[in-house]
Structure 1
Amino acid sequence: MLQHDRLFIGGDWVAPAGTATIDVISPHTEEVVGRVPDGTPADMDRAVAAARAAFDEGPWPRMTMAERAAVVGRLAELYEARQGEMAELITTEMGSPITFSRMAQAPQPLGMLKYYAELGATFEVEEQRPGLFGPVTVRREPVGVVAAVVPWNVPQFVIMTKLAPALIAGCTVVIKPAPETPLDSYLLAEMIQESGIPAGVVNIVAAGREAGEHLVSHPGIDKVAFTGSTAAGRRIAAICGEQLKRCSLELGGKSAAIILDDCDLSAAMGFLSIASLMNNGQACVAQTRILASRNRYDEVVQAVADMVSGQVVGDPADPGTGIGPMVAKRQQDRVEGYIKIGIDEGAKPVVGGLERPHDRGWYVAPTVFAGVSNDMRIAREEIFGPVLAVIPYTDEEDAVRIANDSDYGLSGTVWTADAEHGMDIARRVRTGTYGVNMMNTLEPSTPFGGYKASGLGRELGPEGLAGYLEYKSIARLG
């Protein structure tokens, strides 16, 4: 069992203010696999004070962006050397299949570090523009102290969507990992210590909701960067609005995969097995609404059912596993609650249902519903588990209408033999990311975020860096 009794604050390992601890429980064995201090509001005060001092008085914001990029590049080297260890740790603490952890949970954060190190090496923080009375200098400066509040499903990925651009911009950061997944952040802290990032620039305090809200509300925080549920996002937006504090929010999704009549189903299912079921279905970008024309509806239902039935459900540490457990007992209960809701609403489970695949561990049966209409709760609410709803449409206009008939707008896909026609469909669906005959893999160089209740702002790409910069216009005579 991994045990930590300190918090990472001010570049050092310090004793927590309280005595409470967080037990990290394996979703597969239901046994304790780790223990860390449970951060308190007093710990958050200390972390913010360290970040504030590092920003107001320390060297980090005063270095050139290229100098900061070199240090972030060093962190990327350290991360690359330990990415295998990081992948295994995330699988242990939250049940992500090890194949997905090795493919995405660890490599994608590394890719973000490398991208932002390269971008920062050449990024111009000042530019000259013509003005009425002479040239005007437009300058970009760091926004200040950032609170990065992250969820448990892809913990390192989400940390890095915030940390990498914030560091390049010259910000200092307080990271609050989710209580379900604090262990990976300790490994990250070890690398940060070794990288040469100055003390206080990055602080990490795992904690629950009370300490998290204290951090978000703290007057020493200049910006909140949050990923999580839409309900929590609304609360954070309200707090930031009251304080006129900057915030970026990456929230929920209920994405639609449109299968056109000319689609090669056998080819599409290979991609959809990842796009719809990645990370045990615990992904905000998961394609959980499968839209099929009435002409091929039964054929699509059977293809999706076969795809889901072919998944191995079991030990996430086994490379042969396709779907592991839910992260926690409450998540198992939530997903099974939605399966019951679907049955009660009149949808038909053609695969899965309420019978659990294993007696031990927080497993649910991967489930495919047929006979779903888009007004059902299982088609409108984010379930965050391996539950797919196959929804019929009449024609392409109807398919686009159904795809857009959602409170969310985070992701989506279209599957067709005519990729150019697929691009036409993509332009009409109101989501922040989209894929034609593939899942958008969230390239570090392109913006990620959503429309409507899926959030505010964008992460990744130059747009992600812009979210950590303030713009200053300087005019001069003489």
Structure 2
Amino acid sequence: MTSTLTPEGVNVRHPDRLFIGGDWVETLSGREIEIVSPNSEEVVARVAEAGEKDMDRAVENAREAFDNGPWPTTPPQERAALLMKMAEYLETRVPELAAAWTAQVGGLASFAPQMHGGAVMGLKGIAALGNTFPFVEKKPSVMVDTAIIAREPVGVVAAIAPWNAPFGIMANKVFYALVSGCTVIMKPSPETPLEAYIIAEAGEAVGLPAGVLNLVPGEREASDHLVSNPGIDKVTFTGSTAAGKRIGEVCASRIARCTLELGGKSAAIVRDDFPIEAAAQILGNTITIMSGQVCAMLSRAVVTKDRHDELADAIAGVMKGIKIGHSEDPSTQLGPLAMKRQLERVEMYVEEGRKTADLVTGGGRPAHMNKGYFIEPTLFANVDNQSRIAQEEIFGPVLCLIPAEDEEDAIRIANESNFGLNGSVLTNDADAAYRIGRRVRSGGFGQNGMKLEFGLPFGGFKQSGIGREGGEEGIWPYVETKTLLLDGEPTSL
């Protein structure tokens, strides 16, 4: 590499190197990745780009660390203690993590410290599971004197994270894998590699054994090569359904394990007992969170026909009051989309929506922003649930308002999707919320808004993914279950 660059306030020591086998090493590819600010459209960072040979080198080191190193057989309590130190180290770097997120994808600076501080707190909860998870249990048996169920680490894990919440998603994968005794290869999104550098530095700082944690930022071809490597026992991926399908196919071809947390097109059902203005405030302000770039976003709203027009007007009023601006401005409510191709994608869907629905407000670039990847919060009304804007994940601040005949029809519409990640009902009746929530086919469901708690299981039905992250359930994808049938009880149990 000929140059290095990191954003102001982000102090990564070796952005021009990869972390493999416990060392910061030069790339074999000789290439670099440039990160462009969505606020200014200027390059704000450069890091090393791993090629296919770099991916193979990382797998070899992770494989050696798993097959012959101490980590898989280290007592879970000791792994937990080391991971707790790692979380405490990361806590000291929350300001850098926040600055990296804002610089790379335009996340709001006003929200970044809270987001990343909360993520670190979650990591402490994952580390603590090393003290409570039933890695070894004695079970009753009718066949032998002693039956033992052991949960052993699945092996070498390729952890692939997206660009929208790069620290929390990658760190969760790393901590679940490590507390389980796996070794890990981090492959961050090429748009947001800086957080993974800080995670690697945390592992180095606390003394993780060589090869237990590796870092290889790379583009699509090299990433596909990593997933295809037979030395990878498991892939944990968060990202688009299209990429998830490819990863699932590759893993299936050699019976490798995979966890896939994919896209969504989640519906919020507005029940007739819920006030229009309150619904408008929730829906209009939710769609702008992280510029709408959230897989669990409530991007469809379903309301009975006789309330549709009134709700459309009310949501439009909320959206028109949203302040669009640069991410660093503390008064900004809606920052830019993360990258140029994402802006172009959202604009394409806006044009599609104009053909099949009523554009109530938004849909264009804000007149006062002459640089950056900005778009107005956008509302389409009288949306056909079979249309592209209702069925495909837009990943931007675009809300589809869909009329329904009645509550039963609203539930049908909510379920009429290839996705099933999240959902909500806006109602003051908790019994109704529970009843409707049980009928909506989604991995998560909340009353009165986009409710997410990552210390509890998170994942999707249908094409929204396979497996769960969060809580104790987050460990299960990283272990294999072994049954031992013995003629006596071992003293080491």
TM-score norm. by structure 2 comes to: 0.94
Quick one: distance in 1 between partners of 2:102 and 2:160? Answer: 21
SS of equivalent residue, structure 2 residue 50: coil
Corresponding residue of 1:459:
469
Please say which of residues 157-166 and 135-144 is displaced more in the overlay.
157-166
Matched residue type, 1:450: G
Equivalence for 2:41: 30
Distance in 2, Cα, partners of 1:144 & 1:184: 24
1:154 is displaced (CA, Å) by 0.8
User: What's the offset of the Cα at 1:274?
Assistant: 5.1
In structure 2, the residue matched to 1:328 is 339
Where do 5+ consecutive residues of structure 1 fail to align? Answer: none
In the alignment, the residues of structure 1 paired with residue 58 and residue 71 of structure 2 have an alpha-carbon distance, to the nearest angstrom, of 16
* Inter-partner Cα distance in structure 1 for 2:332 and 2:71: 44
Aligned pair in 2 of structure 1 residues 348, 273: CA closer, same or farther (>3 Å)? closer
Whether contact under 8 Å (2:187, 2:216) holds in the other structure is yes
Q: 1:173: which partner in 2?
A: 184
1:414 alignment counterpart: 425
Give the letter for the 2:26 counterpart: A
Q: 1:299 aligns with which of 303, 310, 315?
A: 310
**What secondary structure sits across from 1:131 in the alignment?**
coil
Q: Distance in 1 between matches of 2:258 and 2:81?
A: 27
Distance 2:234 2:93 in 1: 30
- Tell me by how many angstroms 1:269 deviates: 4.1
Of 435, 438, 456, which aligns to 1:427?
438
CA deviation map 1:152-196 (0-9, x unaligned): 111112112311110110000001011111122212222221122
The whole-number CA distance in structure 1 between the counterparts of 2:318 and 2:74 is 52
Q: Which residue of 2 aligns with 1:97?
A: 108
Aligned to 1:470: 480
Q: In 2, distance between residues paired with 1:19 and 1:315?
A: 34
SS of the residue corresponding to residue 287 of structure 2 reads helix
Counterpart selection for 2:65 from 43, 46, 54 = 54
Aligned partners of 1:277 and 1:286 also within 8 Å: no
Superposition pairs of residues 50-449 of structure 1, within 5 angstroms: 50-104=61-115, 106-134=116-144, 135-273=146-284, 275-345=286-356, 347-357=357-367, 358-444=369-455, 446-449=456-459
Change (3 A) 1:88 1:144: same
CA spacing shift, 1:223–1:19, aligned 2, 3 Å: same
Q: 1:310 and 1:288 mapped to 2: Cα distance?
A: 19
Does the 8 A contact of 1:128 with 1:137 survive in 2?
A: yes
Report the Cα offset of residue 352 of structure 1: 0.5
Q: Where in structure 2 are there 5+ consecutive unaligned residues?
A: 7-13, 489-493
- Once the two structures are superposed, residues 15-37 of structure 1 have per-residue CA deviations (whole angstroms, 9 ceiling, x without a partner) of 11022111110001000100011
Tell me which amino acid in the other structure corresponds to 2:156.
V
Task: Please name the residue that 2:10 is paired with.
Answer: none
Q: Deviations over 1:336-388 (max 9, x none)?
A: 0000000022x121110234442200112221111211011100000001111
Partner-residue secondary structure (3-state), 2:454: coil
RMSD: 1.4
Cα shift at 1:113: 1.1
CA contact (8 A) 1:92 1:317 kept: no
CA contact (8 A) 2:312 2:401 kept: yes
